[in-house]
Amino acid sequence: MNRWQDLSPRRFRRASFARGLGLHSTESVRTVPPIPSFGDLALVALAVLVAGCAPSAHDVAPDAVPSADAGEFGPLPEPDCKTHYTAYPGDCRAPAPPDPSEGILVHYGPTDYDDPKQIQEYVIQPGDEIVDCGYSTLENAEDFHYQRYDVYSRPGTHHVILTTSDATPTNGNHDACIARSHGSSLLAVVQGAVRGGEYHYPPSGKIAPENAGLATKLAPGQHIAYEIHAINATDQPLLREGWTIFQRMPADEVTATVGQIAFNGGLGMDIKPHTQAIIKNTCAVPGELGNIRVVDFFGHMHAHGQRFSAFVARTDSSGKETRTLVYESYDWELLDLLELNTLVTNPPVTYAGGTPGGMSGDLRLSPGDRLEYECAMNNTEDFDLKFAARATTGEMCNLFGSFTPGTAWTCVGY
């Protein structure tokens, strides 16, 4: 029985993607094969950004996933949850399917909760860390446009990434994101700690007038790769599962496209034990993009990241350089999305001032202008920290966001 499609509306506990995680254990990491690199720079950037460095058997740090009792780092209590259809926490995270006239639901996880074998394919044991992709084909018969989306995840979820794929794997199939490497384009990114929860885009709930006509398009019968990076920091098995609802935007209201920003820095990082380092990356607006407006962005680090700072750098016609701080974030567990529009006022920031926030209003860039960013890392471990999709024993220095007009702006830094 495909119960998740038939769930009635229920109350949800809004759990942040950003709550508590311990940082010590001697448990080993469950491994999945690494994702192959793509054929050109744009796809290489996407592959690495969204899990190209999944743990491998020969690349496991001595300290892997934290192990802790469920009370300290386990699932958030769900006192309002009255329906239980599995033996795992998070049953009440499942949303009711939207009316097809209002949205499309994309699902990662088991489709038959009465099939023990299928359930076991998605179980993550205590101390394990897994990155993989589930695949589905949407049932839309015509182009589908969206500018809002909602993500729901069971406990144990660190990040969620949705991409398109030209491959056609069977609905419900999942692998180490290999099939995704065919014609991928980024749709949505949600990061956090390990407790899953709900995320609604845009987080302010506001659509500014200048953004009213912006949308992302899904082609008829679009193939979707749904990546989940799961970490079980509890003492009980967890079920890996997630749901995303893309809210329909009428086609006659669409006036421009939204492109995705996908940067990653520090691919060659090697931070020695008990040392600190600043990982930097510089990403210039390519000439082919022309003049763009950045709609929003956020920084992504792992557990040893202490500060994420971003700047806009420009060179005027006389050769004079300017560099302006536009973003600061300090908590690796939070998705500090900086919305840049006329309705949202962000907290002002100073460099390394300890307050998250950033600029407000329009951020317009021209070819050659640069987004520069840095991640302050503190390696408190007894092993080297390298770029890897391991939340507590590997690091990343990535920047995600959106801009208009365009389709994709990617950048790789070592």
**Percent over 90 (pLDDT), the chain:** 65
* Sign, Cα dihedral of 79, 83, 88, 93: negative
336-390, pLDDT tens digit by residue?
A: 999 999 999 999 999 999 999 999 999 999 999 999 999 999 999 999 999 998 8
**Percent of the chain whose pLDDT exceeds 70:** 78
From the list 233, 108, 218, 127, the residue with the least C-alpha distance to 171 is: 108
**Which pLDDT does position 98 carry in this prediction?**
96
Tens of pLDDT along 235-271? 999 999 999 999 999 999 999 999 999 999 999 999 9
Q: What pTM was computed for the model? A: 0.81
Over 90: is that where the pLDDT of 20 sits?
no
Express each pLDDT in 379-400 by its tens digit: 999 999 999 988 889 999 999 9
State the DSSP string of 373-393. EEEEEEE-SSS-EEB-S-TTT
Q: How far is the C-alpha of 108 from the C-alpha of 225, rounded, in Å?
A: 9
Query: pLDDT at residue 1 above 90?
Result: no
Beta bridge partners of 324: 312
Structure confidence at residue 15 as a pLDDT band (50, 70, 90): very low
pLDDT band at residue 192 using 50, 70 and 90 as cut-offs: low
Banded model confidence at residue 174, pLDDT cuts 50, 70, 90: confident
